[in-house]
């Protein structure tokens, strides 16, 4: 792991630096002047909405009738026991399940007012806007630099010398630059697990997503790397909407503003993280967050 704490991120995520600690409702600008300048003011407040979303694998129902709206710039934690459907839910949001045999959906997922399954939707562009970080770091078998810019190249966002700039900027953004700047041509697999995950994060950020889906992003990392990644996620939030699946309840409390609790294919309860943990309204939620069911 890099020794330094997350540095002040550059570029569009710079605004996130002072919002690292959750305080009140983020994303709501109190200053009317700033509010008028907000480029997002004409866009829907909810980046992603699911409407009566029901998922099946073959005849087996995975999730039923999920209604949920993800506010722009928020961090949402998805918690629940293994097999509760939270990962499947997450992977539906960027259509990663579409190719799975027997996968069917009812209801809808709406990204910025438009169904992600609407005819004419560009799947590649959808995945550029809705990025993903996996449980195990999965750098590609190419150099560190090429890993960072793999998506940038594929989407033709930058080319030639610009790619070096992008690589440096994104590696700085995740705090990996100092650790790898002298070995950008090296294999990524010589990095530690935590560094590999940061590299994957840099790769995902490089294509400029609006939403980042994280599937247990720290479950294969050591505690120090985990802490580092969490700090980074808090910084990214106001510019990016984050949806995090986690088995780590403490992590959900640390990083998220909203929490969704899944149990046995149902969205049992969702709401502000503090409220859900302190005063769960459903007895099942209470049993889970107090560790009586896992």
Partner 1 sequence: MPRKQRRVVFTVLFRLGTFLALALVLSPAAWLLASVVAKAVPHWRWSVLWTGLTSTGGGLLGPVTGTLILMAGVLVVAGSVGVLAGVHLSEMARPRKNGAEGGTWLRMASDVLSGFPSIVLGYVGYVALVVGLHWGFSLLPAVLILSLMVVPYIAKSTETALRQVPTAYREGAEALGMRTGDTLRKVVLRSAAPGIVTGLLIALAIAGGETAPLLFTAEFSRTLWTGALVHAHGFGYLTYVVYTFWDTPSKQANYLSYDAALILIAMVLLLLVAARLIVARTQRHSESRAR
Smallest separation, CB 139 to partner 1 (Å):
8
**Residue of 35, 178, 189, 224 interacting with partner 1 (CB under 8 A):** 189
Residue 244 near residue 76 (C-beta atoms within 8 A): yes
Query: If binding is defined by CB under 8 A, does position 55 make contact with partner 1?
Result: no
Query: If binding is defined by CB under 8 A, does position 200 make contact with partner 1?
Result: yes
Smallest separation, CB 183 to partner 1 (Å):
12
Closer to partner 1 by CB, 152 or 232: give it: 152
Query: If binding is defined by CB under 8 A, does position 136 make contact with partner 1?
Result: yes
In angstroms, the Cα distances linking 265 to 96, 196, 252, 271 are 18, 32, 20, 18
- How far apart CA 48 and CA 110 sit, in angstroms, is 6
- How far apart CA 241 and CA 70 sit, in angstroms, is 8
Closer to partner 1 by CB, 214 or 233: give it: 214
Number of neighbours of residue 243 by Cβ within 10 angstroms: 27
**Residue of 16, 22, 80, 131 interacting with partner 1 (CB under 8 A):** 131
Query: If binding is defined by CB under 8 A, does position 123 make contact with partner 1?
Result: yes
Closer to partner 1 by CB, 208 or 271: give it: 208
**Residue of 190, 278, 279, 281 interacting with partner 1 (CB under 8 A):** 190
- How far apart CA 262 and CA 243 sit, in angstroms, is 14
SS3 of residue 71 by DSSP:
strand
Query: If binding is defined by CB under 8 A, does position 138 make contact with partner 1?
Result: yes
**What crossing angle do the helices spanning 161-173 and 193-206 adopt, rounded to 10°?**
120
Closer to partner 1 by CB, 206 or 237: give it: 206
Closer to partner 1 by CB, 12 or 190: give it: 190
- CA dihedral of 189, 194, 199, 200, whole degrees rounded to 10: 100
Closer to partner 1 by CB, 110 or 133: give it: 133
- How far apart CA 210 and CA 237 sit, in angstroms, is 10
CA atoms within 13 A on the CB side of 139: 25
Q: Where are the beta strands (DSSP E) in the chain?
A: 46-57, 60-71, 75-79, 103-111, 114-115, 130-133, 211-215, 241-245, 258-263, 266-272
Q: Binding segment for partner 1 among 23-31, 79-87, 135-143, 248-256 (CB under 8 A)? A: 135-143
Smallest separation, CB 52 to partner 1 (Å):
25
Binding site for partner 1 (CB under 8 A): 94, 96, 101, 123-128, 131-132, 134, 136, 138-143, 150-151, 154-155, 186-190, 200, 203-204, 207
């Amino acid at each position: 792991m890099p020794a330094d704490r997350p540095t002040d991120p550059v570029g569009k995520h710079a605004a996130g630096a002072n919002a690292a600690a959750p305080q009140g409702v983020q994303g709501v600008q109190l200053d009317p002047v700033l509010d008028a300048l907000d480029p997002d003011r004409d866009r829907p407040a909810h980046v992603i909405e699911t409407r009566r979303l029901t998922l099946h694998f073959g005849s087996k129902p995975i999730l039923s009738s999920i209604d949920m709206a993800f506010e722009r710039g928020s961090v949402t934690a998805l918690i629940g026991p293994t097999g509760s459907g939270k990962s499947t839910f997450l992977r539906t949001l960027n259509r990663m399940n579409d190719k799975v045999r027997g996968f069917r959906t009812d209801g809808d997922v709406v990204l910025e007012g438009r169904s992600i399954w609407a005819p004419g939707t560009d799947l590649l562009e959808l995945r550029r806007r809705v990025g993903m970080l996996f449980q195990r770091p999965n750098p590609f078998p190419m150099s560190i630099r090429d890993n960072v810019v793999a998506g940038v190249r594929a989407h033709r966002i930058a080319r030639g010398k610009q790619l070096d700039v992008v690589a440096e900027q994104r590696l700085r953004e995740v705090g990996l630059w100092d650790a790898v700047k002298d070995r950008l041509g090296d294999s990524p697999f010589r990095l530690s697990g935590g560094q590999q995950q940061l590299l994957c994060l840099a790769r995902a950020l490089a294509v400029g997503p609006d939403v980042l889906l994280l599937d247990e992003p720290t479950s294969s990392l050591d505690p120090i790397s985990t802490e580092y990644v969490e700090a980074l996620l808090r910084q990214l939030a106001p510019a990016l909407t984050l949806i995090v699946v986690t088995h780590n309840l403490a992590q959900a409390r640390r990083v998220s503003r909203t929490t969704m609790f899944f149990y046995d294919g149902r969205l049992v309860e969702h709401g502000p993280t503090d409220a859900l943990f302190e005063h769960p309204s459903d007895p099942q939620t209470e049993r889970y967050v107090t560790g009586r069911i896992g």
